[in-house]
Structure 1
Amino acid sequence: MKAVTLKEIKQELNTLSTQEIQELCLRLSRFKKENKELLTYLLFESHNETGYIDSVKSYMDNEFEQINTDSYFYIRKSTRKILRNVKKFIRYSQKKETEVELLLYFCQKLKDFKPSIKRSTQLVNMFNRQVLLSKKIIGTFHEDLQYDYNLILEDFNL
C-alpha cells in the first residue's frame, strides 16, 4: 500500500464530519506512542509553552540523575537516548524558541555532569554539535533575543 500525498489527505479530511475526524484521531493514537504523545501535546500542552518546556526540563533532570556512571559507554548511551527524546519533544512544538531553550538546557546539564564529559571525545563532540545548532538557530532570532541567548552561550566554553 502506497501512502497518498498530504494534499490528498487534506482534501479528504475536508469532506469528513467532525465525528469521523475524531474517530480517525483516536484510531491513529492507538498505533504509535509518538502519535499519542503528539496528540497530547496538541490538545493539552500547546497553549502553555512554558509549562511544556518546564515538563521537558524536569524529564531531563530525572533522566540525567538516573545515568549509570560506571563507565563512559553507559554515559554516552544514556545521553544519546536523552537527546533523542528531547529532539522528539522539540519536533512536537515546532517553535524555535522552545528548541533553543531545551537544547541549551541539555548542554548545561551535560556540561555540569559528573564525571566530566571532557574525558570522552564523543560526549564533547555531542555537546559541541548541540551548541553549534543552538547558535545557528539563535542567529535567526530578533536582536534582543539573540543578545539574551548569546549571554547564556558564553558560559558554555569547555
Structure 2
Amino acid sequence: MKIPSLVQIKKELSYLNDQELTNLIIDLSKFSRDNKSYLFFKLFERDNPRLFVEMVQEELELDFSKSNSNNFHAAKKAAQALRRKLNKHLKLKNDTTVQIELIVFFCKNLKAYGYLRHGHPVIQNLYDAQLRKIQNLISKLHEDLQYDYEAVLEELM
C-alpha cells in the first residue's frame, strides 16, 4: 500500500466539515499515546507556552528519581531508557530553544543522580552525544541566544 503525500492528505481534509474533522482528530488521539500528547500540547500551549517543557521535565525528574544508578549495568540501562523517552518528547517540538533546555535538563540530571560516576563508556558516550546535540542546536540560534546557551554548555563540560 502506497501512503499518500501530505499534499493529498491536506486536500482531502479540506473537503471535510468541522464535525468530521473533530471525529478524525479524536480517532487519531485514541490510536496512540504520542498522538494524544501531541494534540494536548498543541491545544493548550497557547495558554501556557512553557507547559510542554514543564511537563516533560517533571516526567523526566520522576523517572530519574525512580531509576537505579547504584551499579553500572542498571545505570546504563536506565540512562538509555531515559534518553529514549527524551528523544520521543523532542520529536513533538521543533523549537530549538525548547530542545536545548530539555537536553540540558537531561544532562544535568545525569550528573546530579550520579550516572557519570561509574565511568562506564556507554553512559559517557551517551552524555557526550547529548552535548554534541546541544552544540549543533546552539549553532542554529541567533548570536545573542548562542552566547547564553554556550555558557550553559561550558558548565556541563
TM-score by shorter chain over 0.5: yes
The percentage of counterpart residues that share the same residue type is 29
CA contact 1:138–1:149 (8 Å) conserved in 2: yes
In the TM superposition, what are the counterparts of 1:53-68 in structure 2 within 5 Å? 53-68=53-68
SS class of match (2:21): helix
Q: C-alpha root-mean-square deviation of aligned residues, in Å?
A: 1.6
CA contact 1:46–1:93 (8 Å) conserved in 2: no
In the TM superposition, what are the counterparts of 1:2-151 in structure 2 within 5 Å? 2-45=2-45, 47-114=47-114, 116-151=116-151
CA distance, structure 2, for counterparts of residue 134 and residue 109 of structure 1:
15
CA contact 2:116–2:123 (8 Å) conserved in 1: no
Letter in 1 for 2:78: S
Gap regions ≥5 residues in structure 2: none
**CA deviation string 1:18-38 (max 9, x = no partner):** 110000011111111111111
Mark the CA change 1:155 to 1:22 in structure 2 (over 3 Å): closer, same or farther: same
Mark the CA change 1:146 to 1:64 in structure 2 (over 3 Å): closer, same or farther: same
CA contact 1:110–1:117 (8 Å) conserved in 2: no
SS class of match (1:93): coil
CA distance, structure 2, for counterparts of residue 56 and residue 4 of structure 1:
32
The Cα shift of 1:115 comes to: 5.2
The Cα shift of 1:73 comes to: 1.8
**CA deviation string 1:91-149 (max 9, x = no partner):** 11211110001001111111222254452110010000000110111011111100100
What count of residue pairs does the alignment treat as equivalent? 157
The Cα shift of 1:44 comes to: 1.9
The Cα shift of 1:152 comes to: 0.6
User: Which has the higher mean CA deviation after the structures are superposed, 51-60 or 38-47?
Assistant: 38-47
CA distance, structure 1, for counterparts of residue 39 and residue 100 of structure 2:
22
CA distance, structure 1, for counterparts of residue 118 and residue 73 of structure 2:
14
User: Which has the higher mean CA deviation after the structures are superposed, 32-41 or 70-79?
Assistant: 70-79
The Cα shift of 1:156 comes to: 1.6
The Cα shift of 1:83 comes to: 1.5
**CA deviation string 1:39-73 (max 9, x = no partner):** 11111235523232122111111111111134222
CA distance, structure 1, for counterparts of residue 116 and residue 132 of structure 2:
20
CA contact 2:68–2:74 (8 Å) conserved in 1: yes
Letter in 1 for 2:71: S
